[in-house]
Structure 1
Amino acid sequence: MKVLYVTGYKSAELGIFKNDAPEALVIKKAVHNRLQTLAEEGLQWVIISGQLGVELWAAEVVLSMMEEYPDLKLGVLTPFLEQDSKWNEKNKEYYEYILAQADLVDSISKKPYESPQQFKNRDQFLLHKSDGLLIVYDEENEGSPKFLWKAAKEYRETHEYEIMQIDFYELQQIIEEATYEHTNEWDGQ
């Protein structure tokens, strides 16, 4: 796999409003685990659409991995121009920090937001431009990723396309492993 599209829940859908919140760190760890394996297998590009939440956290992970994997690149392909126009200053600064370090930044629609069709166009474009999808999504907890989840499964019916999912069970396992390791540190083991 050369190009991977990474997406998932928006931060507001998860109730996570700080990028260094413990829950965000668990998601970053899960994404890192998957990306590290793929980078060792030759992954070249991670592309996102720049949404707050899983996508920008994944971008942070990619940026942190670039020293160890110098061939790994980050692309941010927004659904429309001025995606951050209604975001607060803190979120805009975070977004600009990610964009400044990305290898590619562009907008799929060359217009500001007009309609939900721009999100459908984004999904189709990024599915066609990638070899696979890594999605942080749990079918029992629907949210905005459900539309891409459905579109990716439909796309896979007629194209060779890999879909990898990080669900809440996997996130819980990471929490349990960290708790176990921390407990053993205190026990002197």
Structure 2
Amino acid sequence: MRNLYISGYRSFELGIFKDDDPKIAVIKKCLKQEISQFIEEGIEWILTSAQFGTEQWAVEVVDELKKDYPMIKVAVILPFLEFGSNWNEKNQTKFSAIKKLANYVESTSHKPYQDPSQLRNHQEFLLDHCQAALLVYDPEFEGKTKFVYQAIKKRQETSEFELRLIDVDQLQNSSVEEEYY
């Protein structure tokens, strides 16, 4: 295994609208545990699209982990050219900061958004270039991550592809542990 794809719920899907929401600390703690384990198992690159929520938090977590694992690298692979250009100034500033934490930034389509096929091609590209995925996702609580989850499940029918989920139970258990600190 060399490359890990990370995705999951968007911040709005989790009811998170502020950068200081305590839920973020719980999600980042779970991400840190899982990503550290993947690094120990040989992952060299983390690939993500830097969507708001899980994907951006994952980039921040990996940046923190670089202190202990300086060899780990992050690739932000965007679905199309000018991705995020329609976001408000605050979100664009945060997105720009996330991209600066990456070792590599590129788009799978070198054209601005035209149609949903760009999103499907982007998803296929990421899965084709990874051997495993980590999703902050619970199939019982669907969100946009449902599409990548279904694509991974379909891929697992014909090839070896590791999938680990950080589900609601794991988040709740970590949340309870946080309260005792």
Cα offsets for 1:139-170 (capped at 9, x unmatched): 11111000110000101111110000011110
Shift of 1:19: 2.9
Q: Which residue does 2:127 correspond to in 1? A: 127
Q: Which residue does 1:83 correspond to in 2? A: 83
Cα offsets for 1:107-146 (capped at 9, x unmatched): 0010111112211111111000001000011111111000
Q: Which residue does 2:23 correspond to in 1? A: 23
Q: Which residue does 1:167 correspond to in 2? A: 167
SS in 1 for 2:169: helix
* AA aligned opposite 2:48: I
TM-score (normalised: structure 1): 0.92
Q: Unpaired segments of 5 or more residues in structure 1?
A: 183-189
TM-score (normalised: structure 2): 0.96
CA contact (8 A) 1:59 1:74 kept: yes
Q: How does 1:1-189 map to 2 (within 5 A)?
A: 1-179=1-179, 181-182=180-181
User: What is the aligned-residue identity percentage?
Assistant: 44
Across the aligned residues of Structure 1 and Structure 2, the Cα RMSD in angstroms comes to: 1.0
Query: Where do 4+ consecutive residues of structure 1 move more than 3 Å?
Result: none
Q: Which residue does 1:185 correspond to in 2? A: none
Cα offsets for 1:168-188 (capped at 9, x unmatched): 110000011112x33xxxxxx
Partner Cα separation in structure 1 for residue 59 and residue 48 of structure 2: 8
* AA aligned opposite 1:61: V
> Which has the larger Rg?
1
Shift of 1:84: 0.8
Q: Unpaired segments of 5 or more residues in structure 2?
A: none
